[in-house]
Amino acid sequence: MPDHTTCGFLVVPERRDTPGKVIKVGYAVHASTAKDRKPDPVVYMSGGPASASMQLTGFLSQMFPDRDVVAVEQRGSKYSQPTLGCPETAEAMLDRLREPSADVGAAALKCRERLAQQGVDLRGYNTKEIAADVVELRKTLGYPTWNLFGVSYSTRVMMDVAAADPAGVRSVVLDSYLPEKVGWYDDADRNLTDTVTKLGLREPFEAMVTRLNARPARVPTTDPLLGTGFAARLTGDDVSTIMAEALHEADVLAVAPAMIDALSKGDDELLRPLADEVGDALVSHEFGLYHAVQCQDEVPFNTFTTKSRLFTVNSDKAVCDAWKLPKSAPVNATTKAPVLVVGGQYDPTTPTRTSEPAAKSLPNARFVEFAGTGHAVFLVNGCARRHILAFVDTPSGGAAAPCSPEKAAVYPRLNPGDVRVTGASYQISLSPWLAAPFALFALVSLVQLVAGALKGRAVAAFAGLAGTAFTGLAGAAVWGMLKENETALAVGLPASVWPYTWVAVGSAVLTLGALALRRGWPQAVAAVTAAGFLVWWFAWIL
């Protein structure tokens, strides 16, 4: 947390319709120290459901330096009490990638029984109660008005807050808007298809799915809950599910053309980062809260007329069938307060196809789409942050746009010809020591260059010069890729490393020549190092 931040709990009823038991909702308040501090703060909540919010306090305080920032948790999430974790269903969903797989519904019943033994009433964990917590927090903190800021799921929360507390709302920012009337589960398959189509990848994507459905791949990964490794079995539908989540991120969107093209051609080593993505996702939410909200406020409003190819959709339906929580009453929230809705061009979860019309149905809203961006636009897109800041400063509008959203792509697109596909680069990013042969070759080449030049041994000097040139050129190419988008390492190395390779081969040939001219241990070490490096480079890296 940044300086001048206070953290606390808001004590509220677990169920306002049945007063008695109380719970604690976590929040943080960062007090602005700006001389021109504005009186109305920004209150932010993350999405999910069940994503934590408070970790973004520092980021938001930099985004809104002249306003207090309030980051409020959802009841039941990581920094609230109780925390509604559900490792039983998380592990069962991960088991989807094993054979035989676990029964998600049975795991859900175990989770619910455990939570009930802890005194948790899941009926108190829904959007209506979460919104009421936000309203109560404003009154408790003593702010006459504030600016609401929601992203993804919490856009629904903030719309409910705006409807329930109109006198306390100055403006509303909805990033990746999820309208209440949209059936997210019914739309999930189409949303993914629309995104890959917009990216111009429909044909290779379907080829990848068809290939892996016919012959699933075995991919090493780690169980984040148990800390053990296992071989995941990935079908094409499994990869579709993982991509539906991964394509939230602008850095993944940028490398998707090269990645999906490679996967369609059978480069299954690129499945490792996708398999690891599953584990990361399963520890990013408190799944007890997630399921409680979805089973009351989302699943009952979808038809599920056809089985989805996305295992997350089917798993959520299985959990809700097991839990049998009551269906919530629709709110149909609206507001007369000024509203800014921002969306990402390639968002596979809250596409502009549904968020833009919903924005236009509000009495006082405007909509802006940002190019090259996926979900949760403000986190990665500086132009979007400038639009949001300008709106909060002057919600009534009239000011010129601070930047062009059509030119706001965050990362350059990585096409198939831009990269030399290899899974080695991703493994090195996880374990840098795996690059030791490259570092050793660079060191030996430099020693060859200096020693050969000082002792007048031209062949050795030129061998060292070629090796040093190769490592410098290859290192510069990789560094350039990292500066643009480090996620590109999940696909491979810059295409330019292939022609540079022949400089390394030339260095090895000259090193052998130097050994033939002078058979000493330094020349032998250099020759063995060069030969070993080329074996490592061709056999594993390329």
* Residue that terminates a domain, selected from 386, 407, 428: 407
40 and 164 co-located in one domain: yes
Domain assignment of residue 115, yes or no? no
pLDDT at 144: 97
Give the single-character DSSP code of 216. Answer: P
SS (H, E, C) 333-372: CCCCCCEEEEEECCCCCCCHHHHHHHHHCCCCEEEEEECC
Residues 50, 169, single domain; the answer is yes
Query: Does residue 401 form part of some domain?
Result: yes
Return the structure tokens found at 40: 């109305």
| pTM as predicted | 0.92
Q: For residue 372, how many other CB atoms are within 10 A of its CB?
A: 21
pLDDT above 80: residue 308: yes
Residue 101 has pLDDT above 80, yes or no: no
**pLDDT at residue 132 above 90?**
yes
pLDDT score of 19: 79
pLDDT tens-digit profile of 314-340?
999 999 999 999 999 999 999 999 999
Q: Is the pLDDT of residue 284 over 90?
A: no
Q: Quick one: residue 533, left, alpha or beta (phi over 0 = left, psi -120 to 50 = alpha)? A: alpha
Domain at 151, CATH number? 3.40.50.1820
Give the pLDDT band of residue 531 (cuts 50, 70, 90).
very high
Structure tokens at 118: 């802890």
pLDDT-derived band at 99, boundaries 50, 70, 90: low
Q: Please report the pLDDT score of residue 100 as a whole number.
A: 60
Q: Are residues 457 and 529 in the same domain?
A: yes
Considering only residues 162 and 522, tell me which one the structure prediction assigns the higher pLDDT. 162
Residues 470-488 have pLDDT tens digits of: 999 999 999 999 999 999 9
pLDDT band at 255 (very low <50, low <70, confident <90, very high): very high
Let me know: does 234 contact 275? Beta carbons within 8 Å: yes
Half-sphere exposure of 477 (CA within 13 A, CB side): 19
> Which pair of tokens denotes residue 50?
């069940």
Domain count, the chain: 3
Closest residue by Cα to residue 466 from 403, 409, 513: 513
Q: With respect to residue 413, please indicate whether it lies within any of the assigned structural domains.
A: no
| Residue 91: predicted pLDDT | 86
Same domain? 343 vs 298: no
Give the DSSP letter string of 417-435: GGEEE-SHHHHHHH-GGGG
55 and 200 in a common domain = no
Contact 204, 175 (CB under 8 A): no
In the predicted model, is pLDDT for residue 276 greater than 90? no
Residue 279's pLDDT is 74
Average pLDDT of the residues in 131-156: 97
Domain boundary at 298, 323, 348, which?
Answer: 323
Same domain, 208 and 248: yes
- Name the pairing type of β-strands 217-223 and 146-151: unpaired
Residue 400 shares a structural domain with residue 523: no
* Within a domain: 412: no
Of all residues in the chain, the percent with pLDDT exceeding 90 is 86
User: Residue 220 domain-assigned?
Assistant: yes
Query: Would you say residue 440 lies in a domain?
Result: yes
Q: Is residue 97 in a domain? A: no
**pLDDT, tens digit, 9 for 90 and up, residues 368-384:** 999 999 999 999 999 99
* Final residue belonging to a domain, choices 323, 353, 372: 323
Say if residue 75 is in the same domain as residue 163.
yes
User: Across residues 215-222, what is the average pLDDT?
Assistant: 91
Q: Does the N-terminal peptide bond of residue 49 adopt cis geometry, omega within 30 degrees of 0?
A: yes
Residue 145: inside a domain = yes
d(CA 261, CA 416): 7
Average pLDDT, the chain: 93
- For residues 480 and 426, membership in a common domain is answered with yes
- Res. 420: pLDDT tops 90: yes
In this prediction, residue 352 carries a pLDDT of 95
| 396 in the same domain as 379 | yes
> What integer is the mean pLDDT of 297-310?
93
Q: Where in the sequence is the domain holding 484, given as residue range(s)?
A: 418-541
CA angle 326, 330, 335 (to 5 degrees): 145
Beta-sheet pairing, 22-30 with 42-45: unpaired
**Same domain as 386, residue 465:** no
pLDDT in tens, 21-78: 999 999 999 999 999 999 999 999 999 999 999 999 999 999 999 999 999 999 999 9
Rounded to an integer, what distance in angstroms lies between the CA atom of residue 248 and that of residue 244? 7
What's the token pair of residue 510?
Answer: 């000259």
Residues 26, 168 within the same domain: yes
Q: Measure the N-to-C terminal CA separation of the chain; round to a whole number of Å.
A: 43
